[in-house]
């Protein structure tokens, strides 16, 4: 039941992120809430569960944005690995480590998507990709603690935890 609830949360967040937030946000750059969900959930549940959520979220984002299938999923798989390596320590240490992981995951995700675009011949300007990635990373640093609270609440309802190392 909890997995179904999280799957609905993930698909719903992806839908809102792609359809509603761009219309409401005057900046045209916003936090990547789906990235935050995958990062924090893999921190709680481990890499295998994070990869499942990354695949679901990636497919949803690819369908909604009409990007080539697998492009978002591949980027989110890397995010799941980063979150899974952090395990439950993501927010149990000082703030520097979680902020660094969020920035690292965001930059890695954007670089994977840009690399795939380059491979497909779209050639986005490197400066624009880096600027958007850095701004998104800063917004994600602010958003991921909220995502963490949502996932922690779901965990209290019974989501399975990965063992701490």
Question: What are the mean pLDDT values of the chain's consecutive 10-residue runs (165 residues total)?
Answer: 86 91 80 89 89 94 89 91 78 67 90 86 84 89 82 69 49
Does some domain include residue 6? yes
pLDDT of residue 69: 85
Domain that holds residue 83: 2-156
Provide the domain count of the chain.
1
What is the sign of the dihedral through the CA atoms of 101, 154, 77 and 74? negative
- Yes or no: say if 54 and 14 are a contact pair by the CB < 8 Å rule: no
Residue 165 lies in a domain: no
Residue 161 belongs to a domain:
no
The region that residue 69 occupies, defined by phi over 0 for left and psi between -120 and 50 for alpha, beta otherwise, is beta
Give the DSSP letter of residue 125. Answer: -
Q: Which tokens in the block code for residue 158?
A: 């019974």
**Helix and strand tally (H, E) in the chain?**
7, 0
Q: In angstroms, rounded to a whole number, what is the distance separating the alpha carbons of residues 135 and 7? A: 27
Query: Among 104, 105, 110, which Cα is nearest to 130's?
Result: 110
pLDDT value at residue 62: 92
Termini Cα distance of the chain: 27
Burial class of residue 89, CB neighbours in 10 A (0-12, 13-18, 19+): middle
| Residue at 164 is within a domain | no
- The pTM of this model reads 0.82
Contact at 8 Å (CB) between 114 and 84?
no
Tell me the H-state helices in the chain. Answer: 2-19, 21-24, 33-45, 47-65, 71-86, 96-119, 126-156
Using the 8-state DSSP alphabet, how is residue 94 labeled?
Answer: -
Asked whether residue 108 is domain-assigned, the answer is yes
> Is 162 contained in some domain?
no
Q: What is the pLDDT of residue 50?
A: 92
- Does residue 115 lie in a domain region? yes
- Which position has the token pair 């994600």? 140
Are 102 and 140 spatial neighbours (Cβ–Cβ below 8 Å)? yes
């Amino acid at each position: 039941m909890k997995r179904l609830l999280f799957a609905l949360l993930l698909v719903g967040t992806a839908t809102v992120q792609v359809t509603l937030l761009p219309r409401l946000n005057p900046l045209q750059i916003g936090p990547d809430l789906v990235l935050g969900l995958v990062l924090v959930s893999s921190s709680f549940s481990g890499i295998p569960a994070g990869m499942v959520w990354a695949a679901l979220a990636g497919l949803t984002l690819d369908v909604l944005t009409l990007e080539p299938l697998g492009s978002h999923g591949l980027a989110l798989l890397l995010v799941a690995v980063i979150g899974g390596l952090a395990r439950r320590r993501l927010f149990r240490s000082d703030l520097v480590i979680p902020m660094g992981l969020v920035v690292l995951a965001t930059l890695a995700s954007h670089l994977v998507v840009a690399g795939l675009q380059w491979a497909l011949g779209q050639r986005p300007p490197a400066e624009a990709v880096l600027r958007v990635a850095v701004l998104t990373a800063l917004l994600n640093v602010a958003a991921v603690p909220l995502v963490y609270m949502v996932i922690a609440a779901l965990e209290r309802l019974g989501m399975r935890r990965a063992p701490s190392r």
